[in-house]
Structure 1
Amino acid sequence: MSRPTGRVLKLLELLQSGGTRTVAELADRLGVEGRTVRRYVDQLIDLDVPVESVRGRYGGYRLASGYRLPPLMLSDEEALAVLLGLLAGRRAGLTTTEHTANETASAKIRRVLPQHIARRLDTLLEALAFTDQPGGFEPPDTGVLLTVADAVQHRRPVSIRYTDRSGRRSERTLHAYGIVTHAGRWYVTGKDAGIGEDRTFRLDRIADARTLSGSFEAPTGPGPAQRVLSGFATAEYRHEVSLRIHGTVEQIRAHLPASVAALEEHEPAAGEDRTAERWLRVGLRVERLDWLPPVLASLDRPFVIERPDELRDLVAALADRLASCARRT
């Protein structure tokens, strides 16, 4: 492809991104002079691309409203990046469609790849290994995801039909603050208008979403991701654990992240080192306790178990097993 033709296609790509582009901006992005930009625009018009000239101080060029874009064109490197992105998204559970749609999209791109690029891709895939298993979670419905995203963007209430983990169905009105992906799942966090409290919902459990009239103000404070993590740490589970650990916030968070534990920090006194080790209270709500003793041992920091007693017994049992192993010859 000749350089002038490549620049004409680049100009079309810039105009497709929307809005009005000044001649100076286009010239800078294309690396040419202003009169060359005008010549490229004329070439697009000759190809029946409806480029409009906008007069005035902030004038320039734009595509006519309603123009149907031509088929997508990708360079070899862009096509390779898209294929790797589809593969990584499927492995991480971040796709919003069934695997068959993901695979057909990959197949369509692979069919048009030059042989030397396809061979490079196959070589990479053969050499590539993953430490985790492919995401096995149900993807959210694409229509639901887009409706909720629009409600977040425009601060509009949204009605959702939701099924909770016990199978109970309900219809709720949600003031959605944001969409968050975590550990292969998609979540939406916001205020449940019916009860006036913040809630986090799994998007794959939402069967239907409809935007409602009206608007709401977004709250100040933690962002959507932090709200989701905090919700995990304070959710209702079988066991409620309370600990005091002597260490820094960083030392504790390295083993008990915000998605697992709530950390009660104390404001240091005047002149006290904020990074110094001190006793901090850690709270967890968990279904099982058996994984906690090894984590506490790996902390290598002094700790006190406030509750439950069952956790004390498990820690003592682990200590006895370790001591027994250390005495063996």
Structure 2
Amino acid sequence: MTTSTTRVLALLEILQGGGTRTVADLAARLGVDERTVRRYAGHLLELGVPVESLRGRYGGYRLAPGHRMPPLMLTDEEALAVLLGLLVAQRTGPVTASGAASESAAAKLRRVLPKALGRRLEALLETADFTAPPRSAGAREAGLLLGLAEAARDRRPVALGYTDRRGRSSERTVWPYGLVAHGGRWYLTAADPSAGPATDPSAGPATDPSTDPSAGPATDPSIDPSAGPVAGPAEVRTFRLDRVTGMHVLPGSFESPPDFDPVAAVLDSLAGAPWAHEVRVRVRAEEHHVRRHLPPGLATLSPLPPEDGADWTEVRLRAERLDWIPGVLAALDRPFVIDRPPELRTLVTSLADRLTMYATVSAPEAPAPDDH
């Protein structure tokens, strides 16, 4: 695609934004002189695009009111970005639409592209593959994502139905702070005013909440969403979007903490999920070194006061099994102290003994060559 053609398409894209654009403004945005802008406008007219020229002090160019442009006019790089985005999201990303929707969108994209570019993208589709299988999702999850995104942006309370990892259902009012894509899933971070003040961060954020029968209804009747903006300490919880059974936006508004980080909240929540074993290890290393060797969301890290001039970091995580943790600790390649659980020390010692044995085993001697 030539530079002039690219700029003609850029002019069309600017005009599609609506309103009247002066020639001087268009020239500045396109990086050309005003005479070239007029020539580009003429090219659009030749292509059947109804560009109107307005004279006078505030004159310029605009598209005819009510005109509908073709669905897509993309450069090669833009088309490739969109198509690859659809393919990668369907295979490896947090999909929020069905596979049929992704395939339909890709087919529509290919239909409106120039033939030469379409053939190149078809070659990519025929030869590219992914190691990950397609993920499944449906329109229900897509609707939830969009609805929760609007509520978080507009700071609107939401009535949420949720089923936790043990199959227990709850209904509660939450204040949505943000949405996070992690590990092929979408998560909602939200304040739960019915849960009271935030818990001690050292105990790990709550996740997969469920109703406590002794606590009464999950929704706090003392909070009136219609009473205007509300704020105050509330426990921040993490909800998996695929476990949300229903939601609707409530009247009123809330205020979110200005320095709140949804990504950090989700990672801390996943690391603090209630599993069979609680592990605490002190590592003689800086936090960034430990974090570089641990997958995101696996553990919560806290810097400790230096000892003998060395930096120490506390690692806290929860797990159903302990057998994989010795290998992770070994990969840190730094001294460490296991605070809990005691059985982890036994597993680490066992791994060290096996590694020592493997390293001292001699390879069998090669057989002597046969002279016959």
TM-score, scaled to structure 1 = 0.81
| Contact kept in structure 2, 1:93 and 1:134, CA below 8 Å | no
Q: Comparing 146-155 with 32-41, which one deviates more in the overlay?
A: 32-41
Contact 1:54 1:62 in 2 (8 A): no
Residue matched to 2:254: 216
Q: In structure 2, how many angstroms separate the alpha carbons of the residues matched to 1:325 and 1:73? A: 61
Q: Percent identity?
A: 53
Q: Compare 87-96 and 179-188 and name the one that shifted more.
A: 87-96
- Distance in 2 (CA, whole Å) between partners of 1:205 and 1:50 is 52
Q: How many residues align?
A: 320
- Residue-by-residue CA offset, 1:145-167 (whole Å, 9 max, x unaligned): 11111111111112222222222
Instruction: Say if 1:154 and 1:52 are closer, same or farther in 2 by CA, change over 3 A.
Output: farther
Aligned equivalents of 2:259, 2:123: Cα separation in 1: 47
Residues 70 and 125 from structure 1, CA distance in 2 versus in 1: closer, same or farther, beyond 3 angstroms? closer
Matching residue's letter, 1:236: P
Q: Deviations over 1:214-241 (max 9, x none)?
A: 1111203341111111111222111100
Structure 2 residue matching 1:221: 3-state secondary structure: coil
Q: 1:278 corresponds to which residue?
A: 311
**Which runs of 5 or more residues in structure 2 are unaligned?**
196-233, 363-372
Worse-matched range after superposition: 143-152 or 59-68: 59-68
Asked if residue 323 in structure 1 is aligned to residue 356 in structure 2, the reply is: yes
1:136 corresponding residue in structure 2: 135
| Residue 342 of structure 2 is aligned to residue 309 of structure 1 | yes
* Alignment match, 1:103: 103
In 2: Cα distance, 1:328 partner to 1:4 partner: 69
Contact (CA 8 Å) 1:137, 1:184: kept in 2 or not?
A: no
Q: Deviations over 1:10-30 (max 9, x none)?
A: 334224346775654322123
Instruction: Give 1:228's aligned amino acid.
Output: V
Write the distance in 1 (CA, Å) between the matches of 2:56 and 2:297: 51
Q: Paired residue for 1:295?
A: 328
- Deviation track 1:253-307 (CA, whole Å, cap 9, x = no partner) reads 12224511111213669xx9xxx74222211111221110111111111111111
Q: Report the secondary structure of 1:235's partner residue.
A: coil
Q: Secondary structure at the match of 2:186?
A: strand
Kindly indicate whether the alpha-carbon contact (under 8 Å) linking 1:189 and 1:224 is maintained by their aligned counterparts in 2: yes
Q: Secondary structure at the match of 1:95?
A: coil
State the AA in 2 paired with 1:155.
R
| AA at the equivalent of 1:316 | T
Residue of structure 2 equivalent to 1:265: 303
Which amino acid in the other structure matches residue 314 of structure 1?
L
Match of 1:239 in 2: 277
SS of the residue 1:141 aligns to: helix
When Rg is computed on C-alpha atoms for both structures, the one with the higher figure is 2
Within 5 Å, give how 1:148-167 maps onto structure 2.
Answer: 148-167=148-167
Aligned match of 1:83 = 83
Unaligned runs of 5+ in 1: none
Given that residues 162 and 244 in structure 2 are in contact (C-alpha distance below 8 angstroms), is that contact kept between their aligned partners in structure 1?
yes
TM-superposed CA distance for 1:107, in Å, is 2.2
Following the alignment from structure 1 to structure 2, what is the Cα–Cα distance between the partners of residues 18 and 192?
Answer: 42
